[in-house]
């Protein structure tokens, strides 16, 4: 469906078709990172029967999941301009004019150098995919995963009262840096324990992710940064109004949260936290929950 690095998201469906948002990235030394977002219309067999382009070049403020379908099956998008938000109907056609450079002119995007003084960047769409992957994870935990004794381990509350069964998300573990895959592998064949809520030592018997480990994974870092060191790879913002999706609320030495978006009632965040949850969650917090925090942006996020 795509020849370029990027991400795909199911954004809607009708009785006879599915809509998939395709975000593609290309890099050239001359022009830097370029991004194109289109919507592919798929029939029941998975064949592409139409395509429309989302006007990324007009967007001034990122909106989480801006594309959906109307009751009439139209492709509807929210386009956030500098002074207003437009509701646009995207017309699908057989094809759209390519705007990314040809693949033979594109430099490698990844961990290898892509040009003198140039490095790859991480898109917010990639961050979103990783974030959602943690939260929608579902796995069976045995009594071994939940209750087996492990010196110093605090059992996550939602597991301690539930018993063996299938649970969503990834458990909080102090010092944890597990991917979804490595967490699930520890649960099967049932040799490791799910989570550890006790601060102190990082226990080898447990699997999970803590607040800074989760941020490190969402930011696609190869090693774990802590709440004391995330500022080494980030830039502090001048105010809350400058936050974009997957920037962070950081309280050094204490906790970190990923900003999703602001509503009139507070801030929606993704985080791995105890606070009665003991796992990776998406939730609304109020301004009073941000005392002592400051806003930061990852230095290597795509512009």
DSSP string, the chain: --SSSEEEEEEEE-SS-EEEEEEEEEEETTTEEEEEEEEEEE-TTS-EEEEEE--GGG-SS--SS-EEE-TTS-EEEEEE-SS-EEEEEEPPBS-----SPPGGGPPP-SSS--STT----B-HHHHHHHHHHHHT-EEEE-HHHHHS--TTPPPPHHHHTT-SEEEES-BBBTT-B--HHHHHHHHSSS-SEE-B--SSS--TTEE-B-HHHHHHHHTT-SS---TTTGGGGEEE-S-GGG--TT-EEEETTTEEEEEEEEETTEEEEEEEETTTT-EEEEEEE-GGGGTT-EEEEETTB--
Give the pLDDT score at 185: 92
Q: Is the pLDDT of residue 193 over 80?
A: yes
Give the pLDDT score at 230: 97
Mean pLDDT of 43-55: 89
Architecture in CATH of 121-303: Alpha-Beta Complex (3.90)
Q: What is the pLDDT of residues 107-118, one digit of tens each?
A: 543 333 333 333
Mean pLDDT of 179-187: 93
Residues above pLDDT 90, as percent of the chain: 52
Q: What is the pLDDT of residues 241-289, one digit of tens each?
A: 899 999 999 999 999 999 998 887 889 999 999 989 999 999 999 989 9
pTM, to two decimals: 0.64
């Amino acid at each position: 469906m795509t020849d370029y690095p990027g991400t795909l998201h199911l954004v809607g469906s009708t009785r006879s078709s599915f809509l998939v948002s395709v975000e593609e990235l290309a890099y050239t030394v001359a022009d830097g990172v370029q991004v194109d977002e289109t919507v592919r219309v798929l029939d029941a067999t998975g064949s592409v029967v139409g395509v429309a382009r989302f006007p990324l070049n007009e967007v001034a403020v990122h909106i989480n999941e801006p594309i959906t379908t109307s009751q009439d099956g139209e492709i509807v998008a929210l386009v956030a301009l500098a002074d207003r938000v437009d509701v646009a109907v995207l017309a699908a056609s057989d094809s759209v004019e390519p705007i990314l450079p040809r693949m033979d002119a594109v430099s490698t995007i990844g961990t290898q150098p892509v040009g003198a003084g140039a490095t790859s960047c991480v898109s917010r769409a990639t961050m979103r995919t990783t974030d959602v992957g943690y939260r929608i994870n579902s796995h069976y935990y045995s009594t071994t995963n939940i209750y087996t004794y492990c010196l110093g381990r605090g059992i996550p509350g939602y597991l301690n009262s539930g018993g063996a069964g299938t649970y969503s998300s990834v458990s909080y573990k102090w010092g944890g840096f597990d991917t979804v895959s490595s967490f699930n592998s520890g649960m099967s064949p049932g040799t490791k324990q799910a989570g550890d809520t006790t601060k102190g030592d990082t226990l080898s018997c447990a699997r999970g992710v803590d607040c800074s480990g989760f941020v490190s994974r969402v930011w696609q870092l190869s090693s774990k940064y802590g709440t004391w060191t995330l500022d080494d790879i980030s830039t502090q913002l001048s105010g809350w109004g400058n936050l974009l999706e997957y920037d962070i609320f950081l309280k050094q030495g204490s906790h970190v949260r990923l900003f999703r978006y602001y509503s009139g009632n507070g801030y929606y965040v993704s985080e791995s936290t105890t606070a009665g949850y003991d796992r990776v969650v998406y939730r609304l917090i109020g301004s009073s929950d941000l005392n002592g925090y400051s806003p930061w942006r990852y230095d290597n996020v795509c512009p």
